[in-house]
Amino acid sequence: MKIRLKDIWETAVNLLYPPHCLGCESSLHRQVDQYLCGGCRKGITYVQSPRCPRCGAGLGPYSHSPEKGCVYCKTVRLRFDGAFSAVYFQGAVKELIHHFKYRKKEYLAGPLTTLVYKALDIGVPFPENPHWIIPVPLHWRRKVQRGFNQAELLARYIGKYLGVEVLPSNLSRVRDTHSQTSLGTSQREENVRGAFEVRTPARINGKNVLLVDDVLTTGLTASECARVLKGAGARMVYVLTVARSVGPDQEP
């Protein structure tokens, strides 16, 4: 049996620095999963049907008329045609996304999109098949600071899974926006208004677009993206995220 130097090196590193769960910091030594322990994986909560037809929020088992949507969607005007999130932004998922976005662990794009694949195994929830996948863009300053756009990495994985081409730079963020955390609904809408533009409208004219991001919070950023995309000629715009906040005030 041929022993590779790479295998010896990886074994030595794991012995000296055993991997730890990114959710709870417990040791993952001798475990197959190198990102989350079994307990944290079991604690991941998937968004269950019935879902709000507008924002994709789980409506709970006692909803008798899911077609009417959720209470939140009745208070805001969302410009996209539907949204789908795989899991809730809490616990281990929250930690994974924070490591992914803010600690430059780009390799976590794969494990995070695996959560999306599992949720989509039930069936792709979009009535119209998308022609393009477009990631929610970062402003160039923030992309330089972070080193990558997390939405673009996720979009590329999802594009391969769905067999849909990714259009990474046609939608751009032309104005750097403030954090939405402490803002009310009307302030959040104003904060993102005019922040995006389509560079080549002809590429999306008459097409269905799947807009991809990591977390859906209030949906107002995705809504502004959808407004701009439709203004440039897109026929339908759907939103797909790994996670959604438990409440509209929970910020990723």
Phi and psi angles of residue 206, each rounded to the nearest 5 degrees, phi first: 75, 5
What is the distance of C-alpha 203 from the center of its chain?
23
Tokens linked to 126 = 């979009």
Q: What is the mean pLDDT of residues 160-180?
A: 88
Q: Which residue, 111, 210, 93, 100, is CA-closest to 157?
A: 111
Higher pLDDT, 16 or 63: 63
DSSP state of 51: B
SS3 27: strand
Give the full edge-to-edge strand order of the sheet including 82-88: 82-88, 236-244, 208-216, 132-135
What is the pLDDT, as a whole number, of residue 120?
Answer: 87
Q: Which residue, 183, 154, 33, is CA-closest to 85?
A: 154
Tell me the pLDDT of the chain averaged across its residues: 84
- In the predicted structure, residue 32 carries a pLDDT above the cut 70: no
Higher pLDDT, 147 or 25: 147
Phi and psi angles of residue 109, each rounded to the nearest 5 degrees, phi first: -60, -35
pLDDT band at 2 (very low <50, low <70, confident <90, very high): very low
Q: For 100-124, what is each residue's pLDDT tens digit? A: 999 889 999 999 999 999 998 766 6
Domain ranges of the chain: 1-43, 45-244
What is the pLDDT, as a whole number, of residue 9?
Answer: 42
Q: For 41-62, what is each residue's pLDDT tens digit? A: 888 999 988 888 889 998 887 6
What is the pLDDT, as a whole number, of residue 241?
Answer: 97
What is the pLDDT, as a whole number, of residue 151?
Answer: 97
- In the predicted structure, residue 68 carries a pLDDT above the cut 80: no
pTM across the whole model: 0.86
Residue with tokens 């026929």: 235
State in words which class domain 45-244 has. alpha beta
Q: For 207-249, what is each residue's pLDDT tens digit? A: 999 999 999 999 999 999 999 999 999 999 999 999 998 765 4
What is the pLDDT, as a whole number, of residue 220?
Answer: 92
User: Concatenated DSSP letters for 99-160?
Assistant: HHHHS--GGGHHHHHHHHHHHHTT----SS--SEEEEPPPPHHHHHHHSS-HHHHHHHHHHH
pLDDT band at 67 (very low <50, low <70, confident <90, very high): confident
What is the pLDDT, as a whole number, of residue 21?
Answer: 83
| Region at 49 (left for phi over 0; alpha for psi -120 to 50; beta for the rest) | beta
Interacting residues of 92 by C-beta distance below 8 A, sequence separation 6+: 21, 22, 23, 24, 36, 40, 41, 43, 44
- In the predicted structure, residue 39 carries a pLDDT above the cut 60: yes
What is the pLDDT, as a whole number, of residue 10?
Answer: 45
Task: State the Cα angle at 161 between 120 and 124, rounded to 5°.
Answer: 30
Q: Which amino acid is at 51?
A: R
Distance separating alpha carbons of residues 164 and 45, to the nearest angstrom: 27
Higher pLDDT, 180 or 102: 102
